[in-house]
Amino acid sequence: MFSVKTVRVTLFLCTQEQRGLPRPPGAVTVGKRTPLYAAHAKAGARIVDFGGWDMPLHYGSQLEEHHAVRRHAGAFDVSHMTVVDVDGEQASEYLRYLLANDVARLTVSGKALYSCMLTPDGGVVDDLIVYFFDRTHYRVVVNAATRDKDLAWMNKQAGDFDVSVTERPETAMIAVQGPAARQLAATVIPQKWRQAALALKPFMALEADELFIARTGYTGEDGWELILPAGQGDSYWKQFVNSGIRPCGLGARDTLRLEAGMNLYGTDMDETTSPLESGLGWTIAWQPDERDFIGRAALTEMRARKERRRFCGLLLEGRGVLRNHLRIVIDGVGEGEITSGGFSPTLQRSIALARLPAGDYDRAQVEIRGKLIDVRVVKPPFVRKGVATIDI
């Protein structure tokens, strides 16, 4: 039997929800717990506070968990994410107004779309995935620590539409990721759904009785994200682990998503930054011209500015570690800032995402402990499907 002590800390890693200040050393409180909490505790996971949830950081070795996902298969408890169903005669019209990307692009049942919700000024309220089933039925998955403001924003915008916005807190969510993840996980899901699940194309989902299986993820690897009844979460988690999928914590999830060049809400973008300066211009559907969406006018103005900041990757060629908020200096151009930084276990180098001044350059310097260290400016991602995508 393990004794689990939940320590409140601010994580300068992990996924979408860095908020607040560290609690005093030794402070112990209890946060919200997912249906899989007991399984994490029994496995001896290092439990930390993450957006108000008691979540596993790692199960002994963050490095080994990272490599397991890149080379084989790993499982993540992401039940803290917020699942919302959007239904009604005007569900499509509502989401076309709410989101910068256009759900009208979705015509095949089960197809998914990544998008941002924006403020009228073009700032990012949150990033999310929306799944289409028909023009009156969609499923949206948003971030955990932004739950309250997201639901308030979505409900506020729903007022002018014939639509219902329904949170689904009775669910659990498990991500299985890695080159072997789908084949291993398929042995656990009901036999009658295995072939259909394995046949899913990327960014497609399947409603399989009580299971919702989506070929999506946040690691740069192939895999599934499964939404299921909370009461079945513990059973499925144990079966996935018994099938050979390694349990992984939020630490590995962060290094994996950083290598994959995937943004982290609250760090790489927030309500003070636009998708255009966060490497997410590709998520804005400008056509058709007549579609109005929240933030469109502001984005149109920003789009015309030549001085708009760049969102780039950085590769440290010397010793040291690139950390969040370090100052970047581009000689003769100006200064920028690291938004997400850390060590890449796959590349064995330090990497970062950064917002930099406009300009055509591929070299910069980062200030580390009072010294300017050379970095190379690159286009993310750094790693996809276990393979380096940049020259090192």
Helix, strand, coil distribution of the chain in percent, nearest 5: 25, 35, 45
Q: Can you give the pLDDT at residue 346?
A: 98
Q: Can you give the pLDDT at residue 16?
A: 34
Rounded Cα gap, residues 22 and 49, in angstroms: 10
Q: Is the peptide bond before 357 cis (omega within 30 degrees of 0)?
A: no
pTM of the model: 0.91
Q: Can you give the pLDDT at residue 13?
A: 38
Nearest Cα residue to 102 out of 277, 284, 274: 284
Q: Can you give the pLDDT at residue 29?
A: 55
Q: Can you give the pLDDT at residue 362?
A: 97
Rounded Cα gap, residues 217 and 146, in angstroms: 19
Rounded Cα gap, residues 80 and 37, in angstroms: 11
Answer for the pair 118, 269: CB distance below 8 angstroms, yes or no: no
Which are the contacts of 282, defined by CB distance < 8 A and separation ≥ 6? none
Q: CA separation (Å) from 332 to 325, 335, 363, 366?
A: 21, 9, 12, 15
Q: Is the peptide bond before 381 cis (omega within 30 degrees of 0)?
A: yes
Rounded Cα gap, residues 38 and 364, in angstroms: 47
**Cα Rg of the chain, angstroms:** 21
Answer for the pair 41, 47: CB distance below 8 angstroms, yes or no: yes
Instruction: Order the strands of the 171-177 sheet from edge to edge.
Output: 205-208, 211-214, 223-229, 171-177, 74-77, 246-248
Q: Please give the chain's pLDDT, 392 residues, in tens.
A: 333 333 333 333 333 333 333 344 444 456 899 999 999 999 999 999 998 999 999 999 999 999 999 999 999 999 999 999 999 999 999 999 999 999 999 999 999 999 999 999 999 999 999 999 999 999 999 999 899 999 999 999 999 999 999 999 999 999 999 999 999 999 999 999 999 999 999 999 999 999 999 999 999 999 999 999 999 999 999 999 999 999 999 999 999 999 999 999 999 999 999 999 999 999 999 999 999 999 999 999 999 999 999 999 999 988 899 999 999 999 999 999 999 999 999 999 999 999 999 999 999 999 999 999 999 999 999 999 999 999 98
- The H-or-E segment that residue 237 falls in is helix 230-242
Rounded Cα gap, residues 52 and 8, in angstroms: 9
Pairing status of strand 164-167 against strand 137-142: unpaired
Nearest Cα residue to 215 out of 197, 203, 228: 203
**N-terminal to C-terminal alpha carbon distance within the chain:** 45
Answer for the pair 31, 53: CB distance below 8 angstroms, yes or no: yes
Q: Half-sphere exposure of 338 toward its Cβ, with a 13 Å CA cutoff? A: 26
Length of the chain: 392
Instruction: Please tell me what DSSP assigns to residue 90.
Output: T
Q: Can you give the pLDDT at residue 12?
A: 33
3-class state of residue 133 by DSSP: strand
